[in-house]
Structure 1
């Protein structure tokens, strides 16, 4: 995998690791509530669901890290595709900013991989 693609794949992995931390550990804290625009009550009521979401983001981060470290284009494309689908779904059902935060970086990494194929 070319260096730019590897860097972008690892960047997307780092983003999803950050999402894991936000959703699993900071959801009910002031930073998490501010980022996700939640009241304390709503954050408390949804913290178990958010932790589950965070766990899935951790799986995406792990798969992308594996792909980036081992230069596995096939694995990278699979996990990046999952991120794009999740970003599109999140944008359609929750907030368009999810597309920007998740899908756009993944699409950039996919483009970097595909341009050298």
Structure 2
């Protein structure tokens, strides 16, 4: 079960690496398309999404520490913190931006949290 929990957390990490890239360096090419933005909307939202990408980068960092830090107690704390933050952000995003965020972000994070708890 601990391996399944780490795989699930790793999946959440990979999803968020991709989100960071979409919101920052890939915004003009893939990001605006992925978020369904017109050129006009993308021009207005680009700075805000880049900032949001920075915050998602912090979630990636927490999850990476949680998966790779050698001390299991510290690693577990970082992993739990990162997954709880992703869960909360995903719920908020689903309520305020797009319902599919619930399935893209929140569900994988909750699965990883449950698997971690069961491990």
Q: For the superposition of Structure 1 and Structure 2, which TM-score range results when normalised by the shorter chain?
A: over 0.9
**Mind listing any 5+ residue stretches in structure 2 that lack a counterpart?**
none
Q: Is it true that 1:13 corresponds to 2:13 in the alignment? A: yes
Once the two structures are overlaid, the 10-residue window that deviates more, 2-11 or 57-66, is 2-11
Contact 1:9 1:65 in 2 (8 A): no
Q: Secondary structure at the match of 2:24?
A: helix
Task: Report the RMSD for the aligned CA atoms in angstroms.
Answer: 1.3
Q: Which aligned runs of 4 or more in structure 1 are off by greater than 6 angstroms?
A: none
Q: Separation in 2 of the partners of 1:74 and 1:51?
A: 27
Q: CA deviation at 1:80?
A: 0.4
Q: Separation in 2 of the partners of 1:63 and 1:74?
A: 9
Counterpart in the other structure of 1:74: 77
Q: Which TM-score applies when normalising by structure 2?
A: 0.91
Q: Which TM-score applies when normalising by structure 1?
A: 0.92
Once the two structures are overlaid, the 10-residue window that deviates more, 54-63 or 71-80, is 71-80
Q: CA deviation at 1:45?
A: 1.2
Aligned pair count?
115
Q: CA deviation at 1:6?
A: 1.1
1:30-109 pair list within 5 angstroms: 31-70=30-69, 71=72, 72-109=75-112
